[in-house]
Structure 1
Amino acid sequence: MKSWILYKDSAAALKPEAYEVKRLIETGEKRGHEIEVFKPEQFELLVTAATERSLMVDSAVVDLPDVLLPRMGAGTTYFALSVIRQFERLRVPTFNTSLSIETVRDKLFTHQLLGRAKLPIPKTMLAKFPIDVGLVERKLGFPVVVKTLSGSQGSGVFLCEGRQNFEDLMELIRATQSNANLIFQEFIADSRGRDIRIFVIGGRVVAAMERRSVNDNFKANFSLGGEVVPFKPDRNAEWLALESARLLGLDIAGIDLLFDGDGYKICEANSSPGFEGIESCCDVDIAAEILDFISFRL
């Protein structure tokens, strides 16, 4: 089987932090599974009524792979989405699909879909400048979480402990980037400095971990230095993760849950979840699980 990975760097330029891509390549080699890595910018698209020669790599027509694995996540650009859609038009299976990637790249739209399905989520508001601080305080209270509409690994997420802190941040954003797309979310105090990542592949939970902040940071991401420990999800946590992945159309997903009393709230969904942290603390080979799932689906 021949697979292509769509990533921000080419195979020759992979950086040390590209753990997941390297693991997929290494695991594929052990199984006789040919895997190549390409940047979106290496592709040329020609859209016509015909499909032949409509996709080129470095300006050359090449044989298409059996499957495409996009690993761009929240950093998926319009150009990258167009490349993925072209593969889909050429009937190359993609995991995940362009539609699901585009959906979860938008955090507000993700919550709109989950909220419509009556799943537990933090109360969320779309920012509109000038900000009505009183409305935010009445509807969400303080502390309040401020997020960019896209972002991963804890980037673009801020906690405003009080009204003055929030007003100062909004004034800075208004002065420097008044067209910024932001959302505000209620702060779930029970989950301060900790959360749960559940890894879903092909409609089943394959691993879960609890992430814990080590420096009083309210964010617990492994990529930010947080500690990780194995987590055994109860039936409620498992169902929330599986239902979220199903509703969002994700075959491969990292679903993040917040602790909330005796239950949970869904924080985010990731279409290209990292798995260095979960492999470091759980007895699981995520790369093998992904390749096994793809082989089964093909």
Structure 2
Amino acid sequence: MTIFILSVSEHIHSTQRIYKEARRRGHTVEIINHLKCSIKLGGDKPAIMYQSENIIDIPDVIIPRIGVSAMKHGAAVVKEFEMNGVYSTASSAGIINAQNKVRTLQIISRNKLPIPQTVFSVDPENVSEQIDLLESVPIIIKLQEGTHGSGVILAESKKSAMSIIDTMYSTNTSILLQEFIKESNSEDIRAFVVGDKVISSMKRKGLEDDFRSNIHKGGNGCKEALTSEEKEIAIKAAQYLKLPIAGVDLIRSKRGPLLIEVNSTPGLQGIETYTKDNIAKAIVKFLEEHVRTKL
């Protein structure tokens, strides 16, 4: 099997983990910087160029590792591979959907999966009414595009929320408002979905004085068993967003599990460290099975 990993650097931990596991299992693997890919359209045949050379040998599968800053171009490169019949562990549509929190929540809500109460708007004239729609404070204010816990603010009062929201609207910043789930206790659950299974899951706990649970912000994690309901939510969320491989983030509330985010490029370092699960190997085995069934 020939695998292309689309990544801006071969030195990124998750990229290296997948590369080494795929090589260990005897596959041909190349790390392709999608920012150095050009797409030529028109003429006799479309072409994907890499570092000024036409990519002639189309791989069996691609594994996109595409972050927010390179999302639009990266998704276009993935789309071109898809149109050439190449299987992707994250569809181009899924990458675009998952990178925008509002779009993610719209799709999830439409498919009846549970989420926190959420409001998004660009109208600066009814900020008070927007906050009232959430029925209580504190509230969470999030950038619509952000990662690793960046761009997430807790507003303790309606007055502080209005001030923050006014400022963000004045700079044309796209945000969403969410209810604060106090009983989650600065904890969330990362479910790692591969195909139709949750292959690993961990609980993440934020620092003592930080409501965010993200490990990149100094939190920690531990292996955590999921309920059957939590597994079902995670698997369905990945499927609705067209992401064969995804990191799905949940919180536990008095109303039951709530989905807060889906990541199309979930990192491996934290979850492999805390759970001791070999996720990179599971990803490669999943791709092997996919290619086998297509023969």
Asked if Structure 1 and Structure 2 have the same fold, meaning a TM-score greater than 0.5 normalized by the shorter chain, the answer is yes
1:96: which partner in 2?
90
Question: For the residues of structure 2 that align with 1:143 and 1:25, how far apart are their CA atoms?
Answer: 44
Does residue 289 (structure 1) correspond to residue 288 (structure 2)? The answer is no
2:113: which partner in 1?
119
CA contact (8 A) 2:122 2:169 kept: no
Q: Which stretches of structure 1, 4 residues or longer, exceed 3 Å deviation after superposition?
A: 49-52, 73-76
Letter paired with 1:5: I
2:208 to 212, 215, 220: 215
- TM-score (norm: length of structure 2): 0.92
Question: For the residues of structure 1 that align with 2:240 and 2:257, how far apart are their CA atoms?
Answer: 18
Question: For the residues of structure 2 that align with 1:119 and 1:174, how far apart are their CA atoms?
Answer: 29
2:165: which partner in 1?
170
Matches within 5 A, 1:57-206: 57-62=50-55, 63-140=57-134, 141-175=136-170, 177=171, 179-206=172-199
Q: Deviations over 1:49-96 (max 9, x none)?
A: 6436x1111111232222111101444422111111111111111111
Structure 1 residue 203: deviation in Å? 0.7
Letter paired with 1:108: V
Does residue 3 (structure 1) correspond to residue 11 (structure 2)? The answer is no
Per the alignment, in what secondary structure is the counterpart of residue 113 of structure 1? Answer: helix
Structure 1 residue 171: deviation in Å? 3.5
1:243: which partner in 2?
236
Does residue 19 (structure 1) correspond to residue 13 (structure 2)? The answer is yes
2:26: which partner in 1?
32
Question: For the residues of structure 2 that align with 1:255 and 1:208, how far apart are their CA atoms?
Answer: 9
Q: Deviations over 1:223-248 (max 9, x none)?
A: 11111011110111111111111211
CA contact (8 A) 1:195 1:256 kept: yes
CA contact (8 A) 2:128 2:162 kept: no
CA contact (8 A) 1:143 1:159 kept: yes
Does residue 260 (structure 1) correspond to residue 260 (structure 2)? The answer is no
Per the alignment, in what secondary structure is the counterpart of residue 77 of structure 1? Answer: helix
Question: For the residues of structure 2 that align with 1:65 and 1:269, how far apart are their CA atoms?
Answer: 27
Structure 1 residue 133: deviation in Å? 2.9
Question: For the residues of structure 1 that align with 2:209 and 2:285, how far apart are their CA atoms?
Answer: 39
Letter paired with 1:2: T
Structure 1 residue 174: deviation in Å? 3.8
Question: For the residues of structure 1 that align with 2:222 and 2:7, how far apart are their CA atoms?
Answer: 28
Uncovered stretches (5+) of structure 1, i.e. residues with no partner: none
Per the alignment, in what secondary structure is the counterpart of residue 199 of structure 1? Answer: strand
Structure 1 residue 101: deviation in Å? 1.1
Identity %: 30
Moved more, 124-133 or 222-231: 124-133
Q: Deviations over 1:162-191 (max 9, x none)?
A: 12221232243244x2x2111111111111
Uncovered stretches (5+) of structure 2, i.e. residues with no partner: none
Letter paired with 1:78: K
CA contact (8 A) 1:51 1:90 kept: no
Superposed CA RMSD: 1.7
2:219: which partner in 1?
226
Structure 1 residue 131: deviation in Å? 5.0
1:270 to 254, 259, 263: 263
CA contact (8 A) 2:139 2:155 kept: yes
- TM-score (norm: length of structure 1): 0.91
CA contact (8 A) 2:127 2:166 kept: no
Question: For the residues of structure 1 that align with 2:241 and 2:254, how far apart are their CA atoms?
Answer: 26
Letter paired with 1:156: G
